[in-house]
């Protein structure tokens, strides 16, 4: 149980220590999160009766009637065209796993403020108390008239794939599972620049991905779409290959798309001679396996807080090292992708986020630092002000070119 003290200002009991031993009064994270991290702010004044009559009744009735007659006006006269729902069921939260919808809210609030801070996009956390994919789809579809886009967040595989697919089939607004596609876009951007830095072509690379969940599947697909020569995906049982009889439908499809060399066996055996390691799985890769990679390999070990290959170990063998951590160079961080992707899609009224839009986002992100490349700078900082505008413009142009506009 948490301990309790009396707050002298109001005489009420206040919990100060959790079962884990964290002191909520001293921990700065609790101080920052107290009361939540976001609020709704009006964009118009309500100073007097005239303002009130325009912002609400009777003036609002004229706007409602116009939208009822011409539904497309909702994008011009409400916030719909610039707001995203950040939807989760709390089943795969950060490194915490299945902690439920209430415990996921601090993360969803954080995601919402990142949308605003980095992309100028308003976002609303929506934590759902259900796990059935069809129930989630139905719930989000019923909420969708209020939003211009849906960002799915921290939903466990494999149901995240089904939920995204069914929602996009049903809705005419972008649906984007950031754990899949945001990670994939940033990974591709970093790989493009690592290849440029070392004078290699994507088509000549063999990439081994550790992890066949949401991120691993999306990374494999975007790398193949970008022209990477050979992608091998490994799960807990080793290489995802067509000769295995224990694969889910998603992994079976993945096996058909990947592993051009027909490898079998363990992750460690697959790494022998590999040009790139991409980790989205956790666990630890033994150093001898890293040592057997191709000379000048790239190691993108993205598990948090503990990378699959420690950066100090990776640096002994790799020419470029990236992680998911902010305290090492080359942080592969989704915030480099999702704010700009949604900003661009919303700007032009895109109905979906397509593969070509994601590829355009990755190329634009890579181009931000293309003239500044170094082993410790193959990806921009999340605080680089050039990032979101560059990604948004590329995504908007790709959407217009592809004609996926409402």
Residues 46 and 48: their CA atoms lie apart, in Å, by 6
pLDDT at 29: 87
pLDDT at 20: 61
pLDDT at 352: 97
pLDDT at 17: 56
pLDDT at 8: 35
Predicted confidence (pLDDT) at residue 4 exceeds the cutoff of 60: no
Q: What is the mean pLDDT of the chain?
A: 93
pTM of the model: 0.92
pLDDT at 96: 87
**pLDDT digit string, tens, across residues 250-275:** 999 999 999 999 999 999 999 999 99
CATH 3.40.50.10380 positions along the chain are 79-173
Predicted confidence (pLDDT) at residue 11 exceeds the cutoff of 70: no
pLDDT at 12: 39
Please indicate whether residue 176 or residue 24 has the higher confidence score (pLDDT). Answer: 176
* Lowest mean per-residue pLDDT among 16-30, 40-54, 73-87, 204-218: 16-30
**Per CATH, which fold does 180-406 belong to?**
Rossmann fold (3.40.50)
Predicted confidence (pLDDT) at residue 184 exceeds the cutoff of 80: yes
Those residues with Cβ within 8 angstroms of residue 150's Cβ, 6 or more apart along the chain or in another chain: 84, 85, 87, 140, 144, 167, 171, 173, 174, 175, 176
CATH 3.40.50.720 positions along the chain are 180-406
**pLDDT digit string, tens, across residues 240-252:** 999 999 999 999 9
Catalytic residue (choose from 80, 111, 221, 251): 111
pLDDT at 22: 67
Is 56 catalytic? The answer is: yes
pLDDT at 13: 36
Structure-token match 């500044």, residue found: 372
Instruction: Specify the 3-state DSSP secondary structure of 114.
Output: helix
CB 276 within 8 A of CB 297: yes
Residues 162 and 133: their CA atoms lie apart, in Å, by 7
pLDDT at 5: 36
Neighbours of 99 (CB within 10 A): 15
Instruction: Specify the 3-state DSSP secondary structure of 150.
Output: strand
Please indicate whether residue 5 or residue 150 has the higher confidence score (pLDDT). Answer: 150
- The reply to whether CATH 2.40.100.10 applies to domain 79-173 is no
Q: How confident is the model at residue 9 (pLDDT cuts 50, 70, 90)?
A: very low
CB 138 within 8 A of CB 130: no
Alpha helices in 226-286 (DSSP H): 249-257, 267-271
Residues 338 and 378: their CA atoms lie apart, in Å, by 19
**pLDDT digit string, tens, across residues 113-158:** 999 999 999 999 999 999 999 999 999 999 999 999 999 999 999 9
Neighbours of 221 (CB within 10 A): 20
Q: How confident is the model at residue 227 (pLDDT cuts 50, 70, 90)?
A: very high
Residues 321 and 310: their CA atoms lie apart, in Å, by 10
Mean pLDDT of 60-85: 96
**pLDDT digit string, tens, across residues 333-381:** 999 999 999 999 999 999 999 999 999 999 999 999 999 999 999 999 9
Catalytic residue (choose from 12, 56, 77, 116): 56
Q: What percent of the chain has pLDDT over 90?
A: 89
pLDDT at 319: 98
Determine the length of the chain: 406
pLDDT at 172: 96
E strands of 18-143, at which residues?
Answer: 83-88, 122-127
CB 278 within 8 A of CB 219: yes
Those residues with Cβ within 8 angstroms of residue 136's Cβ, 6 or more apart along the chain or in another chain: 87, 89, 128, 130, 155, 159, 163
Predicted confidence (pLDDT) at residue 14 exceeds the cutoff of 90: no
Is 111 catalytic? The answer is: yes
């Amino acid at each position: 149980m948490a301990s309790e003290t009396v707050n002298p200002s109001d005489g009420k009991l206040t919990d100060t220590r959790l079962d884990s031993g964290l002191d909520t009064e001293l921990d700065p994270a609790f101080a920052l999160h107290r009361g939540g991290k976001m609020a709704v702010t009006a964009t118009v004044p309500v100073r007097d009766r005239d303002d009130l009559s325009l912002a609400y009744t009777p003036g609002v009735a004229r706007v409602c009637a116009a939208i009822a007659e011409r539904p497309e006006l909702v994008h011009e006269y409400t916030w719909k065209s610039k707001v995203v729902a950040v939807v989760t069921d709390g089943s795969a939260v950060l490194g915490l796993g299945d902690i439920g919808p209430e415990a996921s809210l601090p993360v969803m609030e954080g995601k919402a403020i990142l949308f605003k801070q980095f992309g100028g996009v308003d976002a609303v956390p929506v934590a759902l108390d259900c796990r059935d994919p069809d129930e989630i789809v139905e719930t989000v579809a019923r909420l969708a008239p209020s939003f211009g886009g849906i960002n799915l967040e921290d939903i466990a595989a494999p149901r995240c794939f089904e939920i995204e697919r069914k929602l996009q089939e049903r809705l005419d607004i972008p649906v984007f599972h950031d754990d899949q596609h945001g990670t994939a876009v940033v990974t591709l951007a970093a790989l493009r620049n690592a290849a440029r830095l070392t004078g290699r072509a994507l088509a000549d690379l063999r990439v081994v991905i550790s992890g066949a969940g949401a991120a691993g599947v999306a990374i494999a697909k975007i790398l193949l779409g970008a022209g990477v020569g050979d992608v091998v995906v490994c799960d807990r049982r080793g290489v995802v290959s067509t000769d295995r009889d224990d694969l889910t439908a998603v992994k079976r499809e993945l096996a058909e798309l990947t592993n051009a060399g027909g490898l079998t066996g363990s992750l460690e055996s697959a790494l022998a001679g590999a040009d790139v390691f991409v980790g989205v799985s956790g666990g630890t890769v033994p150093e001898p396996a890293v040592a057997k990679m191709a000379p000048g390999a790239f190691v993108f070990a993205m598990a948090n807080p503990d990378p699959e290959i420690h950066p100090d170990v990776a640096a002994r063998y790799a020419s470029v090292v990236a992680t998911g951590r902010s305290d090492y160079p080359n942080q592969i961080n989704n915030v480099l992708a999702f704010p700009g992707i949604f900003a661009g899609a919303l700007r032009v009224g895109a109905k979906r986020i397509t593969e070509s839009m994601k590829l355009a986002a990755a190329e634009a992100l890579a181009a931000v630092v293309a003239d500044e490349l170094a082993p410790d700078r193959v990806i921009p900082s999340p605080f680089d002000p050039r990032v979101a505008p560059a990604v948004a413009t590329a995504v908007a142009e790709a959407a217009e070119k592809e004609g996926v506009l409402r």
